[in-house]
A and B are shown apart, each in its own frame.
Chain A
Amino acid sequence: AQKITQTQPGMFVQEKEAVTLDCTYDTSDPSYGLFWYKQPSSGEMIFLIYQGSYDQQNATEGRYSLNFQKARKSANLVISASQLGDSAMYFCAILYYGGATNKLIFGTGTLLAVQP
């Protein structure tokens, strides 16, 4: 069974500093995608970044980058130059491509608070 683990329930970071949010996963399937979403207090899930299991390079999207270590089954999100608006819940999720369904399995999330 696939499982996503986010070990940091909450984190603080100073504005303008970088922060790393941890995500490890457990799957024996070779074909999968890893997603990071941001969920502000309004509830909407905002897509941040994606990493495919066959991608050779770490994904980057603006201030977001993914430290993907396939052998260790980890996909940590790095946010550079934190902003106050980055305060939110962050979820890591895995999508298994081998099955006949689009089903995301989510971690428990990390609540990030950016301090001025």
Chain B
Amino acid sequence: KAGVTQTPRYLIKTRGQQVTLSCSPISGHRSVSWYQQTPGQGLQFLFEYFSETQRNKGNFPGRFSGRQFSNSRSEMNVSTLELGDSALYLCASSLNPSGSPSYNEQFFGPGTRLTVL
């Protein structure tokens, strides 16, 4: 079974540009979450999608947006890039819907490393 894939793996953009990152979850997984990792702020939750609906959003400006398609693939978009958006962006997929007390492992992809110049 293929793992979570993220494309591209590396990206270099300049300030003011926009960027789209893609995440393909494990087959059968309907939940996709996105995280931003920076040296200063650590790992922070961006948003989660389940069955094409955004279920939760972290404390990020509106420049950060996302969507999920019917095949559960997800994209996140950052508009008007700032230097501080340079980070490793990780996505995670999971099988179970939230609210279940049963084991619900979050499987991570390799990440997309975004550099904003």
Please tell me if the beta carbons of B103 and A100 are within 8 angstroms of each other in the complex. no
Interface size on A, as a range, is 20 to 34
Q: Shortest CB–CB separation between residue A63 and chain B, in angstroms?
A: 19
Say whether A44 contacts B109, CB under 8 Å: yes
- What's the A-B contact tally at a CB cutoff of 8 Å? 81
> CB-CB < 8 A to A45: which residues of B?
90, 92, 108, 111
- Asked if B23 lies at the interface with its beta carbon under 8 angstroms from chain A, I say no
CA distance A35 to B88 in the complex (A): 20
Interface size on B, residues (CB 8 A): 30
A60 CB to nearest chain B CB (Å): 15
CB of A64 within 8 A of chain B? Answer: no
Q: Is the interface of B mostly helix, strand, loop or mixed?
A: strand
Q: Which of A43, A47, A99, A108 contacts B105 (CB 8 A)?
A: A47
User: B64-111: which residues lie under 8 A (CB-CB) from chain A?
Assistant: 88, 90, 92, 94, 98-111
Partner of B56, one of A44, A53, A54, A103: A103
> Which residue numbers of A lie inside 8 Å of B, CB to CB?
31, 33, 35, 37, 42-47, 50, 52-54, 91, 93, 95, 97-106, 108-109
